């Protein structure tokens, strides 16, 4: 069975949710104070789940406000079965955190490894998103996406 990491998704919303999930998970990795890698992974996943639920709720309520009636069941079902990329995009960095810690890295070094993984994924997503752009624009898209991850790494270094 081959494992394939998806940097872009079926929809623009899915791709955006994946990028957003990497940034949110990185910010939690930087600021949370957990004693173990497993506890930190759990904190990240719970935080991402809360973000997912909040976003889905906001979309359903916005639908009601802007359409002037309750959303139909198919709209609610669609909202509750989409946007999971916010969580799934962060799986690899969380695995890197666990592996680094199991390999004997200290907690801060394991977090740094996970943040580097997130940054690489952000850069790769920026590169993939820029596939239809002029080469210079593609490089800029990659650099901008990677800058979010680099900012998290810098924040981690400055805070600890």
d(CA 66, CA 104): 53
pLDDT digits (tens, 9 = 90+) for 75-113: 888 888 888 999 999 999 999 999 999 999 999 999 999
47 burial level (CB within 10 Å; 0-12, 13-18, 19+): middle
- The structural domains of the chain, with segments of one domain joined by +, span 12-159
Q: What is the pLDDT of residues 46-65, one digit of tens each?
A: 999 999 999 999 988 988 88
**Cβ-based burial of 21 (10 A; exposed 0-12, middle 13-18, buried ≥19):** buried
């Amino acid at each position: 069975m081959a494992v394939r990491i998806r940097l872009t998704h079926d929809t623009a919303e899915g791709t955006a949710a994946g990028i957003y999930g990497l940034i949110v998970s990185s910010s939690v990795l930087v600021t949370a104070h957990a004693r173990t890698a497993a506890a930190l992974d759990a904190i990240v996943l719970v935080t991402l789940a809360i973000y997912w639920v909040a976003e889905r709720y906001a979309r359903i309520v916005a639908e009601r406000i802007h359409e002037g009636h309750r959303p139909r069941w198919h709209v609610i079902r669609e909202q509750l079965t989409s946007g999971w990329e916010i969580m799934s995009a962060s799986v690899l960095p969380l695995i890197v955190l666990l592996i680094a810690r199991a390999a004997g890295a200290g907690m801060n070094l394991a977090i740094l490894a996970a943040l580097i993984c997130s940054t690489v994924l952000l850069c790769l997503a920026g590169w993939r998103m820029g596939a239809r752009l002029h080469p210079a624009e593609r490089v800029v898209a990659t650099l901008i996406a990677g800058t979010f991850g680099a900012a998290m790494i810098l924040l981690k270094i400055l805070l600890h």
